[in-house]
Chains A and B, each alone.
Chain A
Amino acid sequence: MSPRAAWRLEALGFSQVYDYVAGKVDWGAAGLPREGTATTEETMGEVADANVPTCRLAERLRDVQERVRATDWDTCIVVNEEQVVLGRLGRKALAETADVIVEEVMAEGPSTVRPTATLRETLERLRPKGNTTALVTTSDGRLVGVVCLDR
């Protein structure tokens, strides 16, 4: 629909017309703010804490453990240079004493939720499974943040 609108505006004499082809879906999936009657409920994108510690695959676990201990977090998200989530270090991995790199002890492919999911429906879905945190990523896998479900 937007390509036709863009051409129509050009036909009406507008010379600087841009078409955001990916539209509302892309905007919402990135966790960006929206306005309107359907946006009164809190979404995961809004409540996610972006300060969760992150690390890279090839980092020494000891260095990461030290960094995480300096915070009040008990998890660390493994991302690449594009901030795409590759894995996660949980309590067990963060207590590991062997001299290894992150890749060897991380949990592969952690479950994620989209920023557009509401906090209410996510709590209803994940709490019965015993999950205490939810990892929020964009539709292209980039880290938005983490939501603690037991607070």
Chain B
Amino acid sequence: MPTDATRADVQRLFTEGAQLVEVLPPAEYEEEHLPGAINLPLKELSRQAARRLDRTRPVIVYCYDTT
């Protein structure tokens, strides 16, 4: 089950090597994203796309807000 992360958790996990993933569409990612985040839009989150991520390290996903 995914774990909810706070802002402080994100900062700590990222420092410890977690992968930060924005799941919004590319245009929104291009406009503004968290430093170091990669873009894997939800609509394209296939098995193939997920190969960009390292399974051995934690992954943090985020979008705009809670919606």
Contacts and interface: CB of A to CB of B under 8 A. Distances in A.
Contact of B59 (A14, A25, A27, A30): A14
A21 B5 CA distance: 7
Contacts of A6: 2, 61
Interface string B3-15: 1111101100100
Contact of A19 (B4, B24, B35): B4
A26 interface: yes
A17 interface: yes
Contacts of A110: none
Contacts, number: 132
A5 B7 contact: no
What class of interface size applies to chain A in its complex with B? 35 or more
Residue of B13, B37, B50, B63 with most partner-chain A CB within 10 A? B63
Nearest to A26: B7
B29 to A, nearest CB: 7
Contacts of B50: 9, 12, 14
Contacts of A14: 50, 53, 55, 59
Contacts of B37: 35
B19 to A, nearest CB: 10
B59 A16 contact: yes
A18 B13 contact: yes
Interface string A1-44: 11111111110111111111111111110101111111100000
A2 B23 contact: yes
Given A5-B23, A5-B45, A24-B22, 18 more contacts: A2-B62, A5-B40, A9-B59, A13-B55, A17-B59, A18-B5, A18-B10, A18-B58, A19-B5, A20-B9, A21-B65, A24-B62, A25-B64, A25-B65, A26-B7, A35-B35, A36-B31, A36-B33
